[in-house]
A and B are shown apart, each in its own frame.
Chain A
Amino acid sequence: MNIVINSESLDSLRRLGRSIGKRLLEELVQLYAKDAPWVLGRIEGHLAKGEFREIHLKAHALKSSSTSLGMVSLGSKLAELEAATGQPSIEIEKVRSLVLSLRADLAPTISLLLRMTDTQDRAAL
C-alpha cells in the first residue's frame, strides 16, 4: 500500500480558510472522514447487487472529494473504478478487486489525512 497525499493541496486549503477566518481544512477533513466510509459502504452494497451504474456514480463523487483534499493515490484508484464501471462490458473481478483495495486503503488514508491536518475528531474511524 502506497498512500500519497499532496501536502501542497492541504496548505492551499489551509490558506484559503485563513483568508476567510475559518478552519476550512479541518471542517473539510471531518466531513470527508464522516462521508467517505459511508459512500464506500454503499459502493460495496451496490457491488453485491451488481448495480454497476450506481458504483460508477458513487466512485465519481468520491474521486472528486478525494482529489479536492489532495488524496492522490485514493483518487486514482477511484478513477480506475469509475472507468471500469463506465464501460458497456464490465470485468466484474477487476471491479471487485478495486473495491477491496479501496476498502484496505481508506482507513489508513483518512488516518494519515487526520494526522497531517492535526484534526482531532477521529470518532468517524
Chain B
Amino acid sequence: METIKYSAQSLLSIINDILDFSKVDSGKLDFECTEFNLDAELSALHRAFHVVAAAKQVDLLMRPPENLRYNLMGDVSRVRQILTNLVANATKFTDDGYIQTVVEIEKETETEVELIFKVMDSGIGIPPEAIGRIFAEFSQADSSMSRRYGGTGLGLTICKRLVELMGGEIGVESQQGIGSTFWFRLKFPKGAPRETAPQDGETAFAASDRQEPLGPLRILVAEDNHVNQMLINAMLEKFGCQSVVASNGVEALWLAENEKFDLILMDCQMPEMDGYEATGALRGKSDPRLSMMPIIALTANAIKGDREKCIAAGMNDYVSKPVDETALYRAIQALIGHSRAESTSNRIEEPNL
C-alpha cells in the first residue's frame, strides 16, 4: 500500500512539474498579489518538512528576518512554491547535518523591501562542472541522480523562471561533499504592520535587554582563550563594566596587585599558573583588597565536585563554560551586591570618630 501511495505521489509530482513548466515556459502564468505574513509561511514550511528531516536526523531550521515588522504584498503561492522546491531538493540530497532557510533584508525603502532567501544544506554538494547547468531544464548534477534520488530535473528550472518572472534573481554556491546554498532575491511592496506577538527569539532578546547596567565596575578577566576573552568582554561591555584581560595566572596576579579591580573572573585551567593556584596566592596576601577580592571561577569542566573544588580554592562562585550571559550577570550581581552590602555594614559598625 505504501509503495502504491509513494508511486502515485511521485507520478503526481512529475506531472505537476511538467504542467507547471509548460505554463511557465509559454508565459501563460498569472501572478496574484495578496498580503501575507512571511513568518507564518516559514512556519508552515517547517511543519511540511520536519517529519522527513527528523527521519533522516537532519536539523531543519528556519530564520526569518529579524526586523520585518510588516506583512508583504506579492504572490505568496509562488514564493511558497519556490521555497518548497528548494527545501525539498535540500532534503533529498542531505543525509546528515542541517538544512537552514534564512531570510534577510537586503534593501528597504518606505514602501518596498528587497529580501534574500537562502536555503543552505550540508548535503552532497554539486560538482563544479555541473553548477553551470543546474538550472537548465531536465538537468540534474549527473544522470545517476534521477535514478537514485528521483525527480524530473525541472524543479530548479521552474524556480528560476518564477523568480525571474517576479523580477528577481536566483543562484547557487556549492562545495562538493560540504553542502550547497541556493539563494534568490525578490522585492515586495510593504503591507500592513504586523499585529502578531513577537517570536520566541525576540521575547528572549527583550528579556535579556532588561538587565540593568551593573555600574562602572572594573573587572579582571583571567582567561587564556582568545574566543572566550572576546565573548566575555562583550558581555561585560553590555553589563556596563570595564574589563582588563590577563592571559594566565601569573599575569592575573601581577595585575591584581598593581591595579584596582572590583572583581576577578578566573578561568580555572590556564598555562603558567592555573586559576586555583592564582586564587590561593591572592587569598594568602596580607592586603585585604586582594585576600577579600570577589572571584568567580570559569570552568569548562562541568563535572560533579568542580564547584566544591573552586570554593575550596578560595573562589566565591562558579560559572560554567560555555559562559551563559544571564548566569554571568546574576553571579556578578549577587557577588557585588553582597560585597557592597558587607562594606556598607562594615562602615556602619565603624566608630564615628
Contact = CB atoms under 8 A, between A and B. Distances in A.
B76 to A, nearest CB: 25
Contacts of B227: 28, 31-32, 35, 64-65, 68-69
A69 B238 CA distance: 19
Interface string B175-213: 101110100000000000000000001000100110000
Given A31-B230, A61-B225, A1 B321 contact: no
A27 interface: yes
B209 A19 contact: yes
Contact of B97 (A3, A16, A28): A3
B166 interface: no
B122 interface: yes
A64 B269 CA distance: 11
Nearest to B321: A64
Nearest to A29: B227
Interface size class of B (residues with CB under 8 A): 35 or more
Contact of B226 (A2, A9, A65): A65
Contact of B122 (A3, A28, A68, A69): A3
A60 B298 CA distance: 13
A61 B100 contact: no
A7 B227 CA distance: 17
A17 B66 CA distance: 14
Given A35-B226, A35-B227, A115-B120, A2 B322 contact: no
A1 B57 CA distance: 13
B234 A16 contact: yes
Q: Is the interface of A mostly helix, strand, loop or mixed?
A: helix
Interface string B220-251: 00001111101100110110000000000000
B178 A108 contact: yes
B178 A112 contact: yes
A28 B231 contact: yes
Interface of A: 1-5, 7, 9, 11-13, 15-17, 19-20, 22, 24, 27-28, 31-32, 35, 57, 60-61, 63-65, 67-69, 108, 111-112, 115-116
Q: Report the 7 A-B pairs with minimum CB-CB distance, sorted nearest first.
A: A65-B227, A68-B322, A2-B96, A64-B300, A67-B322, A20-B237, A24-B234
Given A3-B97, A64-B322, 15 more contacts: A7-B59, A7-B63, A9-B322, A15-B201, A19-B209, A28-B227, A28-B230, A35-B226, A57-B271, A61-B225, A64-B321, A68-B227, A115-B181, A116-B100, A116-B120
